[in-house]
Amino acid sequence: MPEMINQEDPAPVEAPVLLEQASTAEASPAEAKTAGETGQGTKKRGNRGQTCKDRREHAAVKRRARIQEDREAESTPRVKSENSEPRKPKRRVALMLGFCGTEFQGMQVNPNARTIEGDLFKALCEAGAVSEENATSQQKVQLQRAARTDKGVHAAGQVVSLKMIVEDPDIVEKVNAKLCDQIRVWGFVRVVQSFNAKTMCDSRVYEYLLPTYVLMEPSESNLRLAQTVPFEERRLPETNAEDMKAKREYRVSPEKLQFVRDAFAKYKGSHDFRNFTVTRGCTESNSMRHMHWFEVSDPMIIDGSEWLSLKVKGQSFMLHQIRKMVGLVILMTRSGAPLKLMDALFGKNSPRINVPKAPSLGLLLESPVFDGYNSRADKQVQGVTSPVTFEPYQKTIDEFKQRFIYDAIIRTEMADCVFDGWVNSVEVFPEQYTYINKDGVIPESAIVVPGSERRFRFNRSTVEAGDQAAAESSDDELDSKDN
């Protein structure tokens, strides 16, 4: 966690220690030519002889210098033309918000798509929370999110840190007036200058809503189709209204529910989650993650269908990790695979296999957690910095979550049968998932070799638009990038 800076008694700013000096700048032409020919004048990226302590001290000095520059810039009057507006002071804040991600291409800004950050930053600029001169780039206000969310994923609580103009007491209402109803800003608190929503977040809590009919035994017609029709000729079947009604009326048995709880409980603790994210950029050195807990609720009936609420708290998560964790347990429950299979996927020497990611529809970010920062923020001067918590807004958040997230998830599933389409896709195209068997044995056919040309693809021309998300899981291992 980055070093905390005392706001009342900042450390004296030292001149940053230069890692190297440009030797050719003042050299004679002959010396410069010789240095260029021998390669001695080539600028290096850093001094490899430095120790870790040296680099930490150098980073701390630069951080203090940057903070001091920010303070001086805020307090120093700017030379301006007659037509320019007076400069308003900015303060570093933690902005708390929530959103329904159905109509968005994820949280992170993308010039070619509609994203949460894109709409939020535009609203901040239009409401006067970001000055006109800083409205051209989020980097100018150092905007940083606590957690990334994928396309279609929701958030009841999300935190964004940035430098914002906060002198207007109605700024939150003005920002919300510029936003669509699917994005709401709950409020903000002042934080220390070194606060970064991503690096100072201790852990994240996610929730996943799951209809229990996905835990039913495999469809015999789908299994027969997969066994008798060549891969390229298969088509995803459409579930008729009568069969879909029977699925909605399914109720999970106590024995199967206990298996689900036991399976999710195995995620607790520290594990190597290489098999629960994308292949590219993931190694055993960066795939260890710690899960604090994983809870499964009692079944609840919503609009005639039975649902489970899955909640997980983890230190951090990799790309698609939660959706793959849920996807594995669904397939294991349907096929009767033993729990020992999960142990085989966690080991350092475990083979790489493709775990299908469950639909994004049911996933939402409950809240990022800042316990470490809050324990120190309590010691700061009152009125200058405050703990980062959603407690003051919890009633409003619960109302928003019910109306714009829970209801949207249920409504979309009832209309589009998203989970049924996902189940059909993994049953009709099971070639990558042969490790899901009652023996818990991982066959050679299920092992993914990074860089190999072997991959399974859907005939996308025959996949309906509603099932496109399910088809993406087939290409995920080699086509996606990590965050």
| 296 contacts 312 by C-beta, under 8 angstroms | no
Among 22-31, 96-105, 201-210, 431-440, name the one with the lowest average pLDDT.
Answer: 22-31
Q: In percent, how much of the chain has pLDDT > 70?
A: 76
- CA 312 distance to own-chain centroid: 14
Select the more confidently predicted residue: 24 or 189: 189
Closest CA to 275 of 207, 343, 208: 343
pLDDT band of 240, cuts 50, 70, 90: very high
**Which pLDDT does position 24 carry in this prediction?**
38
Write the pLDDT tens digit of every residue in 154-164.
999 999 999 99
The span from the CA of 399 to the CA of 324, in Å, is: 29
Mean of the pLDDT values across residues 323-348? 93
* Average pLDDT along the chain: 82
Residue 6 clears pLDDT 80, i.e. is over it: no
**Which pLDDT does position 83 carry in this prediction?**
53
Pairing of strands 305-314, 300-302: antiparallel
**Which pLDDT does position 59 carry in this prediction?**
77
Active site (catalytic) residues = 150
Mean of the pLDDT values across residues 249-262? 97
Instruction: Tell me the two tokens of residue 188.
Output: 């903000």
The whole-model pTM stands at 0.77
Mean of the pLDDT values across residues 118-126? 96
**Which pLDDT does position 50 carry in this prediction?**
63
Residue 62 clears pLDDT 50, i.e. is over it: yes
The span from the CA of 418 to the CA of 412, in Å, is: 8
pLDDT band of 72, cuts 50, 70, 90: low
**Which pLDDT does position 61 carry in this prediction?**
83
**Which pLDDT does position 246 carry in this prediction?**
95
Q: How far is CA 255 from CA 305, 336, 438, in A?
A: 19, 12, 17
Q: In percent, how much of the chain has pLDDT > 90?
A: 63
Residue 301 clears pLDDT 70, i.e. is over it: yes
Residue 388 clears pLDDT 60, i.e. is over it: yes
Select the more confidently predicted residue: 357 or 48: 357
